[in-house]
C-alpha cells in the first residue's frame, strides 16, 4: 500500500483543527470581581488528615509581628488557622498512636543500653531499612515500615 504525502498532511491538519476546538471556556478555575480579589477554587482533598503545625507567631519579611487582620499585609499566615490539633496516646509499650492520623510510632529508646537516650541511640536510614526489611518485631507488631515524609511531618511541632 502506497501513501502519498498530500492525504497524510491533510489528515493531520484536520486532526489538529478538531483537537484544538472545544466548547469549554478558557478559565483556569479563578474568578475575579470588581475589587481585584481573586477567588481560587481549591480541590476537595480528602483521605489523609493533616495535623496542625501549632505555629503561633506571625512574621513580616524580617521579624515577628502581631497577628495581621483581614486585608492587612501578611494576613493569612499559618498561625491564623487551626486544624487538627496534635494529640498522642502513649501505649505504655514504647509506642504511641497519633490520634489524628491513626499511625503508630516507636518512641525513642536506649538502643545501645548505656542508660541515656541521646544521639548515639539513633539509627541510620540503612540500619532502619535493614531492620524493617528483615521483619523486625517491636511491641508485638511485625508490620513496621519507614514513614513517608508527609507522615513524618505530622510529628513536627513548628511552634
| pLDDT tens string 48-72 | 788 888 888 999 999 999 999 999 9
Q: Is 110 among the domain residues?
A: yes
Asked if pLDDT for residue 74 goes beyond 70, the answer is yes
Return the higher-pLDDT residue of 41 and 78. 78
Q: Which residues contact 67 (CB under 8 A, 6 or more apart)?
A: 58, 79, 80
Q: Is 28 among the domain residues?
A: no
Asked if pLDDT for residue 14 goes beyond 70, the answer is no
Q: Is 18 among the domain residues?
A: no
Q: Is 140 among the domain residues?
A: yes
Q: Is 121 among the domain residues?
A: yes
Q: Is 131 among the domain residues?
A: yes
pTM summary value: 0.57
Asked if pLDDT for residue 144 goes beyond 80, the answer is yes
Q: Is 26 among the domain residues?
A: no
DSSP assignment letter at 47 = S
Q: Is 69 among the domain residues?
A: no
Domains in the chain, number:
1
- For residue 112, give its domain range: 88-153
Grid-cell match 509581628, residue found: 65
pLDDT confidence bin for 19, thresholds 50/70/90 = low
Amino acid at each position: 500500500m502506497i501513501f502519498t504525502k498530500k492525504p497524510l498532511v491533510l489528515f493531520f491538519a484536520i486532526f489538529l483543527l478538531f483537537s484544538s476546538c472545544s466548547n469549554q471556556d478558557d478559565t483556569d478555575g479563578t474568578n475575579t470581581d470588581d475589587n481585584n480579589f481573586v477567588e481560587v477554587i481549591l480541590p476537595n482533598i480528602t483521605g489523609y488528615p493533616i495535623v496542625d503545625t501549632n505555629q503561633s507567631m506571625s512574621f513580616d519579611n524580617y521579624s515577628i509581628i502581631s497577628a495581621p487582620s483581614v486585608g492587612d499585609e501578611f494576613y493569612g499566615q499559618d498561625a491564623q488557622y487551626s486544624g487538627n490539633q496534635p494529640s498522642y496516646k502513649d501505649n505504655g509499650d514504647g509506642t504511641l498512636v497519633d490520634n489524628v492520623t491513626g499511625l503508630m510510632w516507636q518512641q525513642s529508646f536506649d538502643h545501645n543500653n548505656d542508660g541515656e537516650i541521646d544521639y548515639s541511640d539513633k539509627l541510620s536510614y540503612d540500619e532502619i531499612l535493614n531492620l524493617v526489611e528483615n521483619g523486625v518485631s517491636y511491641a508485638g507488631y511485625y508490620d513496621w515500615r519507614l514513614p513517608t515524609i508527609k507522615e513524618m511531618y505530622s510529628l513536627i511541632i513548628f511552634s
